[in-house]
Structure 1
Amino acid sequence: MSSWGDFLRLRALSRARHRVTAAAVVGAALTASAVTTAVAPDARAATTMRITKVVVNGGKDIVLATAAKRVTVTATISEDSALEQVWLDLENRTGDRLNFHASRQATCSAAGTVKTCTTTLTLDPRSDMVHNSLAGPANWTAYAQAKARDGDFDSDYFPSVAVRRLVAVSGDAGPEPVRKGAALTVTGRLTAANWNTHSWTALAGRPVQLQFCKSPCTSYSTVRTVTSPSTGALRATVTASADGYWRWYHPAPVWATAASSPADHVDVR
């Protein structure tokens, strides 16, 4: 891109992509050459503006359950003139295929040569644009475009945080109280937000740790690891030896969050 007109054409194309349905999005995206030449070297040389940083969701992973979530995107821009337009995008792209795209104009601070521009974008698992295959850190990027009153402009891609599915695990230990040396059974259920069905569903085939913390509780240790079945139901039987707290712990895979069940205190007599 060697002019602001090219910048606006790229902006229009980006916004048009956002309006199409998920079916139309598959296979429809900017070509690799259009992405890599968004700001050509000669264009950068002609402008003093620099977008130095873009931060998505405060630098923390975006965790989605089954409802829509608003996410803040903030850009830091070095420019000695007032900013006229700044657009901030969040994308998931596999090669030339655009899987997800959200875009909105930012509001910027007015003073100084270092500007801070912020907008909010919405990720909604109830839409066709957010589905289970997008979960994790792969292919998520932020994109920023800016133009100043004196004609300076800049645009670039930046790393984004991961987008992960929320996981929940329940737990219950019994009988309570229990005789020392007797059998104690701990049950629970492992579920995850399913973006395809817009509901909470059982999470199967996952290693889940049964953990115990002796009273007074300072730290948990893993007693046993079980694999969740198709129903997500968890069950383990141990020998009661001391007062303390029992819980299930699910280590985080790359596409989801870690989760712990509420601690259940058992009195051993």
Structure 2
Amino acid sequence: MRIRATVAAVTGALALSAFAVPAAQAADPAPSFATGAAKVLQAAHAASGKTAFTAAAPTAGQPYALNVSFSNLKIGKAYKVGTTNHVAVPVSYTLTHGADVDITAADFDNGPFLYRGSVDTPDNILLGDDPAACTATSATTATCKGNVDIYPDLGDLMNADAGTWNVGALAIVLNGQDLVGFAKQGGLGTTLIQRYSKLTVDASPEPVKKGKTITVTGKLSRANWETNKYAGYSGQSVKLQFAKKGNSTYSTVKTIKTDGSGNLKTTVKASVDGTYRYAFAGTSSTPAVNAAGDFVDVK
């Protein structure tokens, strides 16, 4: 779920920006952890100029600093997001809390989040539908596992969001409607959120006489998160590779670049039976991908 900053952040180590819940998510019939966390973020910002987020005794209407911290966070290196598929990004971490915090209480929740930019002035935040599940390892520590849920077809991502995201975690406790405890910590790790890629190949004619020219075409495309369609990836270096019949190992024949529409086209001389494919090494915004091979019978 996406939460984009709508106003400038206030100062202070625990200061927050105000966030708006996307209409598509806000209308969901079943409230999610992400929706609840967004409301707490908004309340935290509203109270930020009123001595909020201090260790002092909680005051009604003012979110207070919750004695919770996070460490030992683990997340995968990269995740591919297409145009419509829901992607759940698993995250685990250690939660440490004060003796005054009951993590088994019904009104205590915590979970991971991904963000772009600064944790206090983020350009985008992604949260999970459900809170993390925690198992106590001592009186003041627990191991927690949760997901960050991404829905590209609900506007969670813009194309410019592809690349490196920072990882954090937050905890909230609802001591009644007007008394909210809150903890947020960023800088716990990074991961790549990438635009899912596709690559095709077609070698012709088939069959072909030995020594004749083979034309190999194809296309490199990737998810456009703003149109929810796939679009050509222009100006990218792609390798044409070949594997002789009976051999599964490919060798690079030449490297060419995609045109303005992501199309590929080159020629080679037919010599022996074998399979041609295109191979793209990937970028920080777009994952590596190999086309399914196209076999050519040489007469």
List alignment gaps of at least 5 residues for structure 1. Answer: 1-9, 41-46
Q: Partner of 1:234 in structure 2?
A: 264
The structural deviation recorded for 1:136 is 0.8
Q: Partner of 1:125 in structure 2?
A: 152
Q: Percent same amino acid at aligned positions?
A: 30
Q: 1:203 and 1:242 mapped to 2: Cα distance? A: 31
Alignment match of 1:71 (pick from 86, 89, 112): 89
User: 1:171, 1:248 within 8 Å by CA — same for their partners in 2?
Assistant: yes
Give the residue type in structure 2 aligned to 1:187.
Answer: T
Aligned length: 235
- Please give the TM-score of this superposition, normalised by the length of structure 1: 0.73
Q: Partner of 1:116 in structure 2?
A: 143
Q: Indicate the structure with greater helix content.
A: 1
Give the residue type in structure 1 aligned to 2:89.
Answer: V
Matches for 1:1-269 after TM superposition, within 5 Å: 17=19, 19=21, 51-56=70-75, 59-67=76-84, 68-77=86-95, 83-84=103-104, 85-95=108-118, 97-104=121-128, 105-110=131-136, 115-137=142-164, 140-146=165-171, 156-157=185-186, 158-269=188-299
Q: 2:163 and 2:54 mapped to 1: Cα distance? A: 29
CA deviations 1:164-186 (Å, max 9, x no partner) are 11111111112222211111111
Give the residue type in structure 2 aligned to 1:248.
Answer: Y
- Please give the TM-score of this superposition, normalised by the length of structure 2: 0.67
CA deviations 1:193-247 (Å, max 9, x no partner) are 0112111111111111111112222421211222111222211111011111100
Shift of the 97–213 alpha-carbon distance from structure 1 to 2, 3 Å rule, reads: same
Q: 2:246 and 2:155 mapped to 1: Cα distance? A: 48
Is the partner of 1:205 in helix, strand or coil?
A: coil
